[in-house]
Structure 1
Amino acid sequence: MSSLLFSCPDIFHSYKVWVSKNPQSLGDWENSAKWVSYFIAGRINNSHILSELVYCLSNLLVMFNDRIIKKTICQVDSNTTPDKIKLWLTVIEYSEVFCELSASKIWGSAGKWVIVTCIQVFKCIARLFLVYQHKEPIIQNPPIPVLDRRDLKSNNSNYATMGDLAQEQLNSVSFTLKRSGRVVRKVDSAPPLAIRNWKPLLKAPSFSCGNNQTIEQSLAGRQLIAETIYISKPLVHLLSMACFGTETWKPWMIGLALDLTSLQLYRSCRSKSINSLTPLQRLQLSRRTVILVLYLLRSPIYERYSKDKIDGFLKALSKIPLAGLICTPLAQYLPFWQSTYFYMWST
């Protein structure tokens, strides 16, 4: 037993080396683990909890491997307070459904709602802390996105080559002071006096590999109000369900109204060119707009209007050759997925 414990660091080091050398092929194994979660759903006892556990662990494995790749290949190792908060938020995003199902199985409906409320209170406080205290821009879902591993090594080598060329070009016309680190232009490399701009030289730009998710522009004014509304929506929705019940239209309408208000505030800022959004911020808003379609799968509109139409559509598609292999299981498990995933607090 002691020998196994002593060998654990060596095994972990070997695993990190293998992950850093095979970032592309690693994705095949991770996707296989996710497909296992779909395959075992409904085929054994407590399969929904087991399926969600496998899916949760597969997502956590992807996040863990991404951190290894960022640290070894991209040379990125962030240990700041915002990064730690985002890490915990991402872990909760991946595991909250499993925690909800487990609590419902062990403690019943009361335990389920206690766990859901605790999770959403923590998420709301943590996100507001990121936005107000650390001036974070629009919070992504999940807060730490999956790393794009396509051509990771080639991109990394290209960035390194670009950085080396820029540094070499800078060194040919300047030198750096040892104490202050200031870049000073050489006398023989100065341009003619007529076209000289007298501005100091800048250091060579640095390049990084992987997903560049950094957005320097923080939220202010209407954008800050819009993001606060979006972050507070899960708690407001849970409170409305506690007040009006889970089968009424009021929680559904309140959640939709908050989403539309948040998006409209962002659009009004963009139309008036007030703190214009960056491309990544606009991408997040586009995703939030598309997610509005999920309101068709949320109670009570699903039971009263959408369910029959979706079932009829899936039955029509199942008559097409090979399409039935996908549509028939989807129609069977859609009621369970609707009752488990399609809530306001999951977005």
Structure 2
Amino acid sequence: MEAYKRWVRRNKEYVHSLESLANGLTWLLPERFSESEIVPEAVTSILGIMTAVNEHIIETTPTNPSQMHTRHMEASSFPYSLFLTLMKDVETLVEVVAQHFYGDDNRWNFLAVTEATKVLARLALLRNSGYKMLLHGGETTNDGNSTNDAEQQDVRGRLLQQQQGQNGHFTPQGRALSAMSRFGENARMLSDPTWFRRVEHHQRAVMELPETEIKRPTMSSFLSEKGISGSLFLMGEVMFIARPLVYVLLIRKYGVKSWLPWLVSLSIDIIGMTSSIACQKDPKLPLSDPEKDELRRRKLLLALYLMRDPCFAKYTRQRLESTGKTLEHVPVVGFLTAKLIELLVGAQTRYTYMSGS
């Protein structure tokens, strides 16, 4: 593994090119591989895992002896951000395999285990970070610094290109559905790609070497220092972390057609977000630019409730089909609208495509 790390760090650009090439080649694989969803999802997961691991190796590259000591200390702790990224890469594969071998109803057991694992990892990360807001579900390190817009523009194009194709399937419909699988993450792709944040964090770490080990606050010291605002902030973060697990457990018990899981999940999201917004005006809890972007991202994720049953089956789908019929005779626009509706209807069938977790 150490030899592989050295090779990746010496050949960063070459590794990025290989990843882009591998993602592009998935579009050229024979149609027979699309007969089962398992094979395309497995390929997608493998490529995602390789990309995440390579980026983690690159971003943890020590640049001097002082930083080597710091990196050694970081390496000794569990890489929660990397773990959560890997979970995101395999969760759709878990859903597809579970549905294929155990049926549609039993897949919720596996999804509950997946969400519970992410909840535990996020709670541990929240504690280890000193109770800072989780960015993109913990996949991005929150160092409390503001972003530099000029640096973003310099590398945004290349990063977005590498984000494309990570979820490629082997049929036109499969590729399109896969593109929808990251609907809940579009905000971060357009304004702040996850591993773009990681690159920024690594660049800042190189320039700002810690002279001493930072002592992380305990929950009691955090609450005593931040007061009521700190309590509201922690409540909002815990509700944001726990909401997907509560939602899956309720679906597992009451079924996907019941309004109870939908309403409870929406209530948790709204209450948690209100708590986070209420405490941001407190000078004891100043929000960095990435944290403000995270709050905006969470607001955008509320749109996913329109794509979740039973709301989708009873209201959204009818609106989409009505719009499609209205525009079907308009050249080009009608064709594109029909394809978009087909994408939305197909993507809605997967929990992980619309989970927002």
Alignment match, 2:316: 306
Given that 2:12 and 2:58 are in contact with CA atoms closer than 8 Å, whether structure 1 keeps it comes out as yes
Q: What corresponds to 1:29 in structure 2?
A: 21
> Which residue identity does 2:58 align to in structure 1?
I
> In 2 relative to 1, CA 132–332 (structure 1 residues): closer, same or farther, beyond 3 Å?
same
Distance 1:23-1:323 versus aligned 2 partners, 3 A rule: farther
Greater helix share, 1 or 2?
2
**SS of match in other structure, 2:116:** helix
1:29 to 1:72, Cα distance in 2 relative to 1, 3 A = farther
Looking at structure 2, the residues matched to 49 and 150 of structure 1 have their Cα atoms a distance apart, in angstroms, of: 37
AA in 1 matched with 2:122: R
* Structure 1 residues 19 and 142: CA distance shift in structure 2, 3 A: farther
50, 59, 72: which one pairs with 1:61? 50
Deviation at 1:268, TM superposition (A): 0.9
* Residues 198-209 of structure 1: pairs in structure 2 closer than 5 A: none
CA shift, 1:254, in A, is 0.7
Q: How does 1:190-269 map to 2 (within 5 A)?
A: 210-212=199-201, 220-269=230-279
Q: Percent identity?
A: 22
One-letter amino acid matched to 2:274: Q
Asked if structure 1 preserves the Cα contact closer than 8 Å seen for 2:98 and 2:107, the reply is: yes
Distance in structure 1 (CA, Å) of the matches to 2:10 and 2:125: 34
* Mapped partners of 1:134, 1:27: distance in 2: 31
In structure 2, the CA distance between the partners of 1:20 and 1:307, relative to structure 1 (3 Å rule), is same
* Structure 1: unaligned runs, 5 residues or longer: 1-7, 153-208
Judge conservation of contact 1:127–1:231 (CA < 8 Å) in 2: yes
In 1, Cα distance between equivalents of 2:20 and 2:119: 34
Query: TM-score under structure 1 normalisation?
Result: 0.66
Candidates 263, 282, 289, aligned match of 2:299 = 289
**Which structure has the higher relative contact order (CA within 8 Å, separation 6+)?**
2
Q: Are 2:13 and 1:16 equivalent residues in the alignment?
A: no
In the alignment, residue 115 of structure 1 is paired with which amino acid? F
1:115 equivalent in structure 2: 110
Amino acid at match of 1:32: G
- For structure 2, the residue ranges without an aligned partner over 5 or more in a row are 142-150, 156-197, 206-213, 223-229
Q: Is residue 2:77 matched to residue 1:81?
A: yes
Query: 1:89: how far off?
Result: 1.7
Please state if 1:45 is matched with 2:25: no
Q: State how far apart, in whole Å, the 2-side matches of 1:261 and 1:34 are.
A: 42
Letter in 2 for 1:266: S
- Asked if structure 1 preserves the Cα contact closer than 8 Å seen for 2:116 and 2:245, the reply is yes
* 3-state secondary structure, aligned to 2:306: helix
**SS at 2:309 equivalent:** coil
Decide whether aligned partners of structure 1 residues 230 and 343 sit closer, same or farther in structure 2, where only a CA change above 3 A counts.
Answer: farther
Q: Which residues in structure 2 correspond to 1:184-195 (within 5 Å)? A: none
- Correspondent of 2:350 among 326, 340, 345: 340
